[in-house]
Amino acid sequence: MASQDITPVGRSSAKASLLYDPKFRGYIFQTITVLVLTGLIYWIVHNTVANLQRAHLASGFGFLDGRSGFDISSSPFLRYTSDSTYITALWVGILNTLTVAVAGIITATMIGFIIGIGRLSHNWLIRKICTVYVEVFRNIPPLLVIFFWYLGVLSVLPQARQSITLPFGTYLNNRGFFFPAPVFADGAWLAGVGLIAGIVGALLVRRWATKRQMATGQQFPVGITSLGLIIGLPLLALAIKGFPLSFDYPVLGSFNLKGGALIGPEFMSLFLALSFYTGSFIAEIVRAGIRGVGKGQTEAANALGLRAGPTTRLVVVPQAMRIIIPPLTSQYLNLTKNSSLAVAVGYPDLVAVGGTILNQTGRSIEVVAIWMVVYLSISVLTSIFMNWFNAKMALVER
Amino acid sequence: MKNLVLKGALAVSALVLLANAASATTLEDVKKKGFLQCGVNTGLPGFAAPNDKGEWSGFDVDYCRAVAAAVFGDPTKVKFTPLSAKDRLPALQSGEIDVLIRNTTWTLSRDTQGFDFTGVNYYDGQGFMINAKKLSGINSALQLSGASVCVQSGTTTELNLADYFKSNKMEYNPVVFEKVEEVNAAYDSGRCDVYTTDQSGLYAYRLALTAPDDHVVLPEIISKEPLGPVVRQGDAQWADIIRWTHYALLTAEELGITKANVEEMTKSDNTEIKRVLGQEANTKLGTDLGLTNDWVVNIVKAVGNYGEVFENNIGSGSPFKIARGINAQWSKGGLQYAMPIR
């Protein structure tokens, strides 16, 4: 807001001078803006309330406590039946959206970095393959990419009775990817403890190794040691308890494979499409970031005797990250929002579940409001996290 | 994403449009516009689908034409808005369409959500279809435990399905799509074992499958699905027009008035026929409804009577060959019963 003192200095001299006073003008414009905005919001709210009454529609969020009455195909984290409430159904939708978004972000980032670095490879073939990948996926609308995976790849897989048998008791058919579900018996908790101990141990080893290298210049095989700790400790824990772990293998039932765990084709097609689509954008961001690092940096690293791998890992990428992270945030947000295309293949994300609720209850305004608030919250949280990450990765000026 | 934007836009336009729509009665609005905006199915052969000439045709479409004929005396003054199950009620609410004639089941909750059902133009029930070649040995819906079931979202079908499997202590895996075309494609590709919707729909979609003869509709009917036209609540005159258009079609069948003989019938001496066709002296039946007195003539001239509409679109005169069954006239053991036009 403009400051309060419009000062009596020029007030007596002339009226015109007050109009040309930038402070005064700023004050006037801001007042008008606030008035118009308030009026607009009042009009919208008033109109909505009046029309809801005229159409004999109830409003409010009380309906969310009602019994949903419909089933949802995939609810990996919450117990949901048709007896659950609408609010539980919405949570299932939100969690499904988050699942596909998080999984998609992780793979899209991996694909993006591999392809992006690949585009700068000295190898002609790798470079060209990466270019073709980027151009193909970047230039197809994401909905078509989803259809490509759903209709073009996954739905032409064989029927349940002719499932493709893969190693380790896994099967692939047009109902999804079936794999043995681990069943933990008594004592399996020790494996969890072992896993946590392994991760903590790996972090400690890494810290110690960095310190030692700083002090003495000697290197330590951190990667292999960490892997050994993270895998070895849980295995050791299981061995102590006499392997209290069994697997529930999928077997052929009357209609489909029964037992085990399942990843449905709806999730897979959405997940793959979002990963591949966003991955192509991330690849370009990564390439731009690496290009943005001065050539002198690489030459200096070479002059110090670093080989190509460590040069990329220790010199180029950390500097490139400064350029990469801000646009990367936008891509993560895009991916999350694009996940609402799930309705096209029947994956029960927030939009699909919300749409069903909207139709069963007729509460359009409430459901649309919930959609907007949830997507806004997810996006804002992602932004906050990425801004924090960006600040952490930024070069510290000395 | 597209859907989210669409919904948001719909909600906003709902507010704006409602403000305008409520200023006059629906009949005045429709007359001012010069055409009826009718919400129909996106593509349910027999009920509402574009034919090979690109014109909309079907049972529900004929009802739209009948209303247009009643209002304007001209069945061509109608525009069709194809709507998915999910979008149909918001579209009516927002004023995007004047009437919804789209296989919509009359339920208490819908009736109290700001809508009015004006009658039942087709008594239906939910059924199941399976690929009998692939699943030989299954001849009852009670053998379907463990199956994947294709179903359209936002329908009463989806709710009945959940209830039926729950009360019979069976498990199933719902595969839910928003658009009927997507449900069809998924079932045809073998993504699910079972297709469930209203039985009339099953018969219609069956013919569109790659190998229709492989598929059978199971005998069980698990629900009552009274389908009928819907209007916005709060405009009694408009609801009356839609309601009596349906009764006019039924009455015409009862009295033997057909598309072919309606002109001739206007000269009939039969008092009832004279009254229905607006030939009585000083009759006010049509004008009291807000229409002209020859409204029934216009309706029958445009689409025929109920029996003709039924047989041409879904009955013996169509590829679907659906029997009249409970949709026969009350006098022939069915449930269709017109209130007297007098």
The pairing of strands A164-166 and B225-227 is unpaired
Is B236 at the interface with chain A, CB within 8 A?
no
Q: CA B183 to CA B83: how far, in whole Å?
A: 15
Q: Are A304 and A375 members of one domain?
A: yes
Q: Which residue of A has its CA nearest to B149?
A: A73
Q: Are A93 and A31 members of one domain?
A: no
Return left, alpha or beta for B104; rule: phi > 0 is left, psi -120 to 50 is alpha, else beta: beta
Which residues in chain B touch residue A352, judged by CB atoms under 8 angstroms apart? 153, 176, 178
Q: Is B328 exposed, middle or buried (0-12, 13-18, 19+ CB in 10 A)?
A: middle
Phi, psi of B233 (to 5 degrees): -70, 145
Q: Are A134 and A23 members of one domain?
A: no
- Which pLDDT score is estimated for A10? 47
Say whether A362 and B158 touch across the interface (CB within 8 A): no
Q: Which among A337, A340, A348 is the nearest to B176, CB-wise?
A: A348
Q: Which residue of B has its CA nearest to A174?
A: B191
Q: CA A118 to CA B151: how far, in whole Å?
A: 44
Q: Which among B161, B163, B173 is the nearest to A73, CB-wise?
A: B173
Q: Is A42 exposed, middle or buried (0-12, 13-18, 19+ CB in 10 A)?
A: exposed
- Closest CA relative to residue B180, chosen from B260, B95, B84: B84
What is the distance in angstroms between the CA of the first residue and the CA of the last residue of chain B?
53
Q: Are A35 and A134 members of one domain?
A: no
Q: Are A128 and A39 members of one domain?
A: no
Give the mean pLDDT of chain B: 89
C-alpha distances (whole Å) from A323 to each of A298, A340, A389, B135 are: 17, 29, 13, 58
Query: B113-172, pLDDT tens digit by residue?
Result: 889 999 999 999 999 999 888 888 888 889 888 888 999 987 888 999 999 999 999 989
CB pairs < 8 Å spanning A and B: 156
Domain with CATH 3.40.190.10 in chain B: 2-123+227-331, 126-223
Return left, alpha or beta for B247; rule: phi > 0 is left, psi -120 to 50 is alpha, else beta: alpha
Query: B228-263, pLDDT tens digit by residue?
Result: 999 998 899 999 999 999 999 999 999 999 999 999
For residue B113, give the 3-state DSSP assignment: coil
Vertex B85: Cα angle to B82 and B105 (nearest 5): 110
For residue A348, give the 3-state DSSP assignment: coil
Radius of gyration of chain A (CA): 29
Question: Is residue A379 assigned to a domain?
Answer: yes
Query: A56-90, pLDDT tens digit by residue?
Result: 667 778 888 888 888 888 888 888 888 889 999 99
Superfamily of domain B2-123+227-331: Periplasmic binding protein-like II (3.40.190.10)
- Closest CA relative to residue B163, chosen from A171, A29, A256, A68: A68
Say whether B3 and A351 touch across the interface (CB within 8 A): yes
Question: Is residue A122 assigned to a domain?
Answer: yes
Tally the domains of chain A: 2
DSSP A90-144: HHHHHHHHHHHHHHHHHHHHHHHHHHHHHTT-S-HHHHHHHHHHHHHHHTS-HHH
Q: Which CATH class is domain B126-223?
A: alpha beta
Question: Is residue A327 assigned to a domain?
Answer: yes
CB atoms within 10 A of CB B290: 17
Say whether B154 and A359 touch across the interface (CB within 8 A): yes
Question: Does B12 have pLDDT greater than 60?
Answer: no
CB atoms within 10 A of CB A13: 9
Residue-level pLDDT, tens digit, chain A, 398 residues? 445 555 555 455 555 677 788 888 889 999 999 999 999 999 998 888 887 777 666 777 888 888 888 888 888 888 888 888 999 999 999 999 999 999 999 999 999 999 998 998 889 999 999 999 999 999 999 999 998 888 888 877 887 777 788 877 788 888 888 888 777 777 777 888 888 988 999 899 889 888 888 888 887 888 888 888 888 888 888 787 777 777 778 777 777 777 777 888 889 999 999 999 999 999 999 999 999 988 899 899 999 998 888 888 888 888 888 889 889 999 999 999 999 998 888 899 999 999 888 888 878 888 999 999 999 999 999 889 988 988 887 776 66
CB B338 within 8 A of CB B251: yes
- Closest CA relative to residue A332, chosen from A266, A392, A384, A269: A384
Q: Are A383 and A293 members of one domain?
A: yes
| Cβ under 8 Å to A: B residues 205-234 | 232-234
Q: Are A92 and A23 members of one domain?
A: no
Is A362 at the interface with chain B, CB within 8 A?
yes
Which residues in chain B touch residue A351, judged by CB atoms under 8 angstroms apart? 3-4
| Whole-complex ipTM | 0.72
Task: Provide the domain limits for residue A23.
Answer: 15-54
Q: Are A37 and A116 members of one domain?
A: no
Q: CA A132 to CA A153: how far, in whole Å?
A: 20
- Closest CA relative to residue A324, chosen from A261, A362, A282: A282
Q: Is A120 exposed, middle or buried (0-12, 13-18, 19+ CB in 10 A)?
A: middle
Q: Are A273 and A364 members of one domain?
A: yes
Question: Is residue A166 assigned to a domain?
Answer: no
Say whether A360 and B154 touch across the interface (CB within 8 A): yes
CB atoms within 10 A of CB B180: 19
- Closest CA relative to residue A115, chosen from A127, A102, A101: A127
C-alpha distances (whole Å) from B217 to each of B200, B207, B213, B320 are: 10, 12, 11, 13
Which residues in chain A touch residue B144, judged by CB atoms under 8 angstroms apart? 255
